[in-house]
Amino acid sequence: MKNFFKILMVSALGGVLTLGTYITFFEQQKVEGNTQTLEMPNTLATSYESNRIAAAEKTDFTAIAEKSIHAVVHVKNISTGSRSNSLMEFFYGDTGGSGRQVVGSGSGVIISSDGYIITNNHVIKGARKLEVTLNTKESYQAEVIGVDESTDIALLKIDKGDLPYLPFGDSDHLSVGEWVLAVGNPFNLTSTVTAGIVSAKARDINIMNNNKRIESFIQTDAAVNPGNSGGALVNTRGNLIGINTAISSQTGSYIGYSFAVPSNIAKKVIEDILEFGNVQRAYLGINYEELNSAKASEFGVESTEGVLITRVLDQGAAQEAGLMANDIIVKMDNVKISNFSDLQGFLGSKRPGDEVQTTILRNESEKILSLKLRNQFGKYKFENSDFSQFFIGQLEPISKSEANRYDIDYGVKIVDLKNGVIERTYGVGSGDIILAVEDQKVSNAKEVDQLLKKYQNKDYFELQILTKSGKQGYIRVPTN
């Protein structure tokens, strides 16, 4: 019995000691642990809920989208295509019956309340009829006011007033990372709005098969698909800052990047069309190289950004202003020039006679020179015979005796041929007669000049020639 009580006392004492140790150490450690969990960590776990203070969420696109969709139209290009049915071709031939009707689809942007619409040239090219449908589903036939192949811009007009329109913004001051909306009619789905950011500026993607092309595109990640061409690229202030023109794709549909003609270039093109009937190109009068590490090392300069002048042409704007070979153009007015696409884009928004401040690096020192831009003939303004004199030579109307001899009542005689290329290539010479330019009959030098001016941005123009021996044919005169 005594042993039993001893064991009981030892057990009780052990329990008391164990409980005291637990309270003393383990309960105290638990409180210290709680104190530690109140200290905030340096990083927080990622939240998968919408963050309402993110930059994208701060921008309300609804008002801009509502305004934009009413100013963007659906453009239908109705043309006549060649037959694709081989059985029909067998019975009727290539010219038998009427060609099948082909309907192309694109977009356009209303830029004035009286019905002027800007779109891409490739949207309306080859059209027999153009139909414009507003967001209200009203349709109108459109007239082509003018086109510019080098920028892929066209100007249309419909007979309708009091229209909603988008004002032009300043694309030179557009920033990479800025939010934009693309508005158009992809896949015939009208009034489609997508959002994205400006991914890059002054992109040359070599999409236009034209040696006079001007490529200084705005690149965005806003979704653009077939049918969006000619539609609006709009900034968050509701201003038109680009005309959606192309996508980068291996499938024909959007895969991440789209490209737009900057508004400053598009605006200048349509202003020229309205004021002059053609586009007034501004030239510096230089040969150039784009800079990178290799070129900088080759030419012995430190800068890897800018446009290096390799030659200054006679009677050009650069020569008059005092620019020299090995000067590096880094800024025009307040626009940074990192590559030739930047320079090309800037010049594309200017015309002959405009004065600009040109910032250059010369022997690693910065200089600012003022220059007055000229046209391709080294002049500030076009004169009546500039194009015909440059591309052909001296012209005069045919005489009555020549009209009777060849039995024609139109044509322009080449009095003094200046273009040695067409003389060597085709045997054309002084005394031969030009009957037509681009299939349009001509009767005097002024008409020839106007047509050459109109088609100056093509790679070549076609002349219909009547030789002194009475033979007729067509020749192609290169414009580069």
User: pLDDT, tens digit, for every residue of 176-231?
Assistant: 999 999 999 888 777 899 999 999 998 887 665 555 677 889 999 998 888 889 99
pLDDT, residue 225, reads: 83
CA-to-CA distance for 226 and 154, rounded, in angstroms? 18
Question: Per-residue pLDDT for 131 more than 60?
Answer: yes
3-state secondary structure 304-349: CCCEEEEEECCCCHHHHHCCCCCCEEEEECCEECCCHHHHHHHHHC
| Catalytic position from the list 68, 199, 216, 229 | 229
Report the predicted TM-score, pTM, of the whole model to 2 decimal places.
0.73
pLDDT band (50, 70, 90) for residue 25: very low
CA-to-CA distance for 304 and 294, rounded, in angstroms? 9
Rounded (10°) CA dihedral 73, 79, 82, 83: 80
Report the percentage of the chain scoring pLDDT > 70.
Answer: 80
Give the model confidence (pLDDT) of 367-413 as tens digits: 999 999 999 888 898 887 889 998 999 999 999 999 999 999 999 99
CA-to-CA distance for 164 and 151, rounded, in angstroms? 25
Say if residues 166 and 110 touch (Cβ distance below 8 Å).
yes
pLDDT, residue 211, reads: 52
Question: Comparing C-alpha atoms, which of 120, 122, 109 is closest to residue 79?
Answer: 122
pLDDT, residue 50, reads: 35
Question: Per-residue pLDDT for 20 more than 50?
Answer: no
Cβ neighbours of residue 193 closer than 8 Å, sequence gap 6 or more:
61, 65, 68, 69, 181, 182, 183
Task: Based on the residue annotation, tell me whether 152 is a catalytic residue of this protein.
Answer: yes
Q: Please report, for residues 87, 393, 394, 421, 465, the alpha-carbon distance to residue 418 in angstroms, rounded to integers and kept in the order given.
A: 51, 5, 8, 9, 16
360 CB neighbour count, 10 Å cutoff: 23
Question: Per-residue pLDDT for 238 more than 50?
Answer: yes
CA-to-CA distance for 33 and 118, rounded, in angstroms? 70
| Catalytic position from the list 68, 74, 107, 122 | 122
CA-to-CA distance for 273 and 282, rounded, in angstroms? 15
Q: Please report, for residues 34, 335, 410, 446, 447, the alpha-carbon distance to residue 387 in angstroms, rounded to integers and kept in the order given.
A: 88, 32, 20, 10, 11
Give the model confidence (pLDDT) of 140-167 as tens digits: 999 999 999 889 999 999 999 999 999 9
pLDDT, residue 273, reads: 92
CA-to-CA distance for 473 and 464, rounded, in angstroms? 6
| DSSP bridge partners of 232 | 183, 243
pLDDT band (50, 70, 90) for residue 69: very high
Question: Per-residue pLDDT for 46 more than 70?
Answer: no
Task: Catalogue all structural domains in the chain, each as residue range(s) with its CATH number.
Answer: 62-157 (2.40.10.10), 171-276 (2.40.10.10), 286-372 (2.30.42.10), 386-478 (2.30.42.10)
Task: Based on the residue annotation, tell me whether 229 is a catalytic residue of this protein.
Answer: yes
Question: Comparing C-alpha atoms, which of 160, 163, 15, 185 is closest to residue 107?
Answer: 185
Give the model confidence (pLDDT) of 70-84 as tens digits: 999 999 998 876 544
Q: Please report, for residues 227, 392, 442, 467, 474, the alpha-carbon distance to residue 446 in angstroms, rounded to integers and kept in the order given.
A: 39, 13, 9, 21, 21
Within 323-480, where are the H helices?
Answer: 340-348, 386-391, 400-406, 420-426, 445-454
Q: Which residue has the tokens 């789209």?
A: 258
pLDDT, residue 7, reads: 47
Give the model confidence (pLDDT) of 307-366 as tens digits: 999 999 998 999 999 999 999 999 999 899 998 989 999 999 999 999 999 999 998 899
pLDDT band (50, 70, 90) for residue 51: very low
Give the model confidence (pLDDT) of 253-303 as tens digits: 556 788 999 999 999 999 999 998 888 889 999 999 888 888 888 888 888
| Catalytic position from the list 148, 152, 272, 327 | 152
Question: Per-residue pLDDT for 92 more than 50?
Answer: no
Say if residues 356 and 333 touch (Cβ distance below 8 Å).
yes
Burial 442-464 (b: 16+ CB within 10 A, else e): beebebbbbbbbbbbbbeebebb
Task: Based on the residue annotation, tell me whether 191 is a catalytic residue of this protein.
Answer: no
| Strand, helix or coil for residue 214 | coil
pLDDT, residue 35, reads: 30
